[in-house]
Amino acid sequence: MKTKKETNSRGSMAMRGMQRVIWLGAAAAALAACAGMAAAQGPGPANVAAQKVAMQKLAFLAGKWSGPITVHEGPGPALHMTQTESVEYKLDGLVLLIEGKSTDTAGKAEFEALATIAWDDATQGYRIRAYNAGHYVDVPLTAEKDGFSWRFQAGPVRIENAMHLTSDGQWKEETNVTVPGRPTFPTVEMLLKHAQ
């Protein structure tokens, strides 16, 4: 028959063993997470200084923008709304965060999207990751003088988006869609003024 002291001693040993298993499991999980983060960032150290220089080339986008937007959804009449774009640097200038919203005449949001733009050391180019209605795209972005463009394929459909500043400093953007067997047609057109 075990004494109370022996029972307590074995209970303490079992508890310490369990704590060790939990600690080892947590350590393994932390190491795996760190390895995953390192793999996602690519080999070698990040060139933060070069990333900041590259991102400053898009500084003309920063601020609040507002103006008319026209959306062509199909054979019916086009939708005419007000578009706002809020663009700001995050992570000490390493990422541009863009929040867009289209509102109707009553002020109801009909369309919302969020995107990030960052410089990718591995490809020596920009990438845009854009989110809308539970979907996202992650594609290269081409920066031009006072503008940018990006495109992606959705099955047989090709979507191209291009933005540039007009001579009077307005944000002009157009999204065009190409479907096999049909001419390219615009789906979104907007012209925004820099509010601040």
For residue 138, give the CATH number of its domain.
2.40.128.20
Q: What pLDDT does residue 186 have?
A: 93
Do residue 26 and residue 78 come from a single domain? no
User: What is the total residue count of the chain?
Assistant: 196
Do residue 13 and residue 110 come from a single domain? no
Do residue 22 and residue 89 come from a single domain? no
Domain membership flag for residue 46: no
Tell me the residue range of the domain where 56 lies. 51-194
Q: What pLDDT does residue 93 have?
A: 97
Q: In a structure prediction context, what are the per-residue pLDDT tens digits for the chain, which is 196 residues long?
A: 555 444 444 444 443 443 443 343 434 444 444 444 444 555 668 899 999 999 999 999 999 999 999 999 877 899 999 999 999 999 999 999 999 999 999 999 999 999 999 999 999 999 999 999 999 999 999 999 899 999 999 999 999 999 999 999 999 999 999 999 999 999 999 999 998 6
Domain membership flag for residue 80: yes
Cβ burial, residue 95 (10 Å; 0-12/13-18/19+): middle
What's the structural domain count of the chain? 2
Do residue 172 and residue 131 come from a single domain? yes
Q: What does the DSSP assignment read for 128-178? A: EEEEETTEEEEEEEEEETTEEEEEEEETTEEEEEEEEE-TTS-EEEEEEEE
